[in-house]
Amino acid sequence: MTDHSADEDRQVEISELEEALGYRFKEIALLREALTHRSFVNEREGESLQHNESLEFLGDAVLGFLVSDRIFRLFPKRAEGELSKAKAHLVSAGNLVRLAETVKLGEYLRLGRGEEKTGGRKKRAILADAFEALLAAVYLDGGIQAADGLTGRLLAPCLEGLDPEQPFFGDFKSALQEQLHDLGRPAPAYQVVDEIGPDHRKTFVVQVIVDRRVVAQASGSSKKEAQLEAARLALETIKSE
């Protein structure tokens, strides 16, 4: 027997989320998949449900392209390294969590009982992954223009905060620490391994160490600059592992 009341409640929730996104899905099944965590599927074997991890994979690529396109068009004369830093900040886990919270994405997720009990709706990793899956669902449902529209609306405050007259130094050290925390790994350690050149023009070489392993190395004209660059490289390394 179908629970019509439950079905109606879920449809109301879907409509509320679509309103927050400013996008109406033609294929609601795509949206439901984007909202479905693996824990929900694991508790319902035999129901032929699909979790959102494949969509997350696609959404990561779509987001990277759209963000790269936007910052390139905004700042076409900036150096590649500066644009890479801006991109890394905009697609960082911390920023994705903020975007997810903007549309209250956690409220609409389909979680297993275990994740529900342990606060899964507010877990940073789950929110960041779900946002990427959501973007992929919009892309598959409405094409690149729909995905670009959603990205533009949600990223507008972040893009307005980027000052082309200032270096693009996102807080990569905080982003790296947040990412490692979400993965259940220890905090990173920064070690100056070399100082090159005279005192008035010294270059510092810094390594980022996680789990007693060097995950990235970078140099800079100050320890802070070298640490920030090393943290940015470490974020890319960890994300690709």
Read off the CATH number of the domain in which 182 is found: 3.30.160.20
Select which of 56, 60, 148, 178 is catalytic. 60
Q: CA Rg, the chain, in Å?
A: 20
- And the tokens for 66? 């759209």
Q: Are residues 181 and 153 in the same domain?
A: no
**Taking residues 30-45, what's their average pLDDT?**
93
Q: Mean pLDDT highest for which of 141-150, 192-201, 224-233?
A: 141-150
pLDDT surpassing 90 at residue 217: yes
Cα separation of 21 and 23, whole Å?
Answer: 5
pLDDT surpassing 70 at residue 11: no
- Residue at a domain's end among 130, 160, 190: 160
pLDDT at residue 6 in the model: 42
Give 36's DSSP letter.
B
- Residue at a domain's end among 131, 160, 189: 160
Domain count, the chain: 2
Q: Are residues 146 and 66 in the same domain?
A: yes
> Strand, helix or coil at 237?
helix
Max CA separation in the chain (angstroms): 80
* 207 domain-assigned: yes
Q: Are residues 17 and 131 in the same domain?
A: yes
pLDDT surpassing 50 at residue 178: yes
Q: Are residues 34 and 137 in the same domain?
A: yes
Q: Are residues 15 and 40 in the same domain?
A: yes
Residues forming a β-bridge with 35: none
Q: Are residues 110 and 45 in the same domain?
A: yes
For the question of residue 9 being annotated catalytic, the response is no
Give the residue with greater pLDDT, 166 vs 227: 227
For the question of residue 225 being annotated catalytic, the response is no
* 168 domain-assigned: no
On average, the pLDDT of the chain sits at 86
Task: From 81, 105, 84, 88, select the one nearest 154 (Cα to Cα).
Answer: 105
Please give the order of strands across the beta sheet that includes 213-220.
189-196, 203-210, 213-220
pLDDT surpassing 80 at residue 200: no
Own/partner pairs, 123-129, CB within 8 angstroms, 24+ separation: 123/182, 124/93, 124/94, 124/97, 124/178, 124/181, 124/182, 125/93, 125/182, 125/183, 126/37, 127/96, 127/97, 127/100, 127/101, 128/93, 128/96, 128/97, 128/100, 128/182, 129/52, 129/53, 129/56
Q: Are residues 8 and 53 in the same domain?
A: yes
pLDDT surpassing 60 at residue 1: no
Cα separation of 50 and 114, whole Å?
Answer: 18
* 90 domain-assigned: yes
Cα separation of 174 and 54, whole Å?
Answer: 28
Residues forming a β-bridge with 219: 205
pLDDT surpassing 80 at residue 7: no
Contact partners, residue 207, CB within 8 Å, separation at least 6 = 190, 191, 193, 214, 216, 217, 230
* Domain of residue 8, residue span: 4-160
pLDDT surpassing 60 at residue 166: no
**Taking residues 52-56, what's their average pLDDT?**
96
Q: Are residues 67 and 90 in the same domain?
A: yes
Cα separation of 53 and 126, whole Å?
Answer: 10
Q: Are residues 52 and 144 in the same domain?
A: yes
- Residue at a domain's end among 119, 135, 160: 160
Name the pTM for this structure.
0.69
Q: Are residues 145 and 216 in the same domain?
A: no
Select which of 33, 115, 129, 132 is catalytic. 132
C-beta of residue 36 within 8 angstroms of C-beta of residue 52: yes
